[in-house]
Amino acid sequence: MEFEVFDLGLTGFEEALRFQKELFSRVKAGALNGALVLCSHHPVITTGRRAKAGAILVSDIELERRGIPVYQTERGGEVTYHGPGQLTLYPVINLGRLKKDIRYFLRELEGSAIDMLSELGIKGSRRGRLTGVWVEGRKVASIGIAVRNWITFHGMSINIKKDDLSNFRLIRPCGMDIRMTSVETVSGRSIDMAQVGAMLTDGLKKRFSTVN
């Protein structure tokens, strides 16, 4: 199944979510096959439906001082951080036309990140029953999605830049004591976000062209 790609660059979280919902309506109406939104965000903390009290480790005042807003969202999962050093992918895909299987879709997102890492010479892997991608025991990609009428939104964020990890200390990512890493940290070199975005886009195009 083909999808259109929208590269928004550095975008506010709310703006990107509004855009996804517009795309969602177009996909639902049959006016658009599917879409992939690529962007990064100004620092923001978001919570999913599973977020528990205490997942954010600092006070509202401290977050305000740092200029980091918190958004409660309709996605699955717990709490996460997004920032300018991350590449965030929001696929708006009609699983009704692909495969009505939420687990399949999550595995394909993880698979696209693992393939991208492999192209960069990095071994990424899944970890047991947990969703996401790990490198050397640290998490590099996080996933939380919403599905309405079998059309997806929200998605996956991948830590790319090594200098945008410290804000994860403000939260318990995914409600667990997880240590985060970035593609730059594990590769030991500078990584171009646009290049990674192109690799992930190609990977997802291949993955969604046929159903396994």
Q: Contact between 77 and other proteins (CB under 8 A)? A: yes
Residue 60 CA: distances (Å) to CA of 12, 65, 71, 78: 19, 9, 12, 18
The residue within the footprint of other proteins, chosen from 25, 149, 166, 209 (CB under 8 A), is 149
* Catalytic member of 135, 140, 174, 180: 174
Q: Contact between 48 and other proteins (CB under 8 A)? A: yes
The least CB distance from residue 154 to other proteins, in Å, is 9
Cβ neighbours for 179, distance < 8 A, ≥ 6 positions apart: 137, 138, 139
Contact stretch for other proteins (CB under 8 A) within 8-16, 58-66, 141-149, 160-168: 141-149
Cβ neighbours for 81, distance < 8 A, ≥ 6 positions apart: 43, 44, 45, 167, 168, 170, 171, 173
The least CB distance from residue 38 to other proteins, in Å, is 20
Q: Contact between 28 and other proteins (CB under 8 A)? A: no
38 versus 143: smaller Cβ distance to other proteins: 143
Query: Is 39 an annotated catalytic residue?
Result: no
Q: Contact between 103 and other proteins (CB under 8 A)? A: yes
Q: Contact between 100 and other proteins (CB under 8 A)? A: yes
Residues forming contacts to other proteins in the complex (CB under 8 A) are 48-50, 74-77, 100-106, 131, 143-149
Residues with catalytic roles: 174
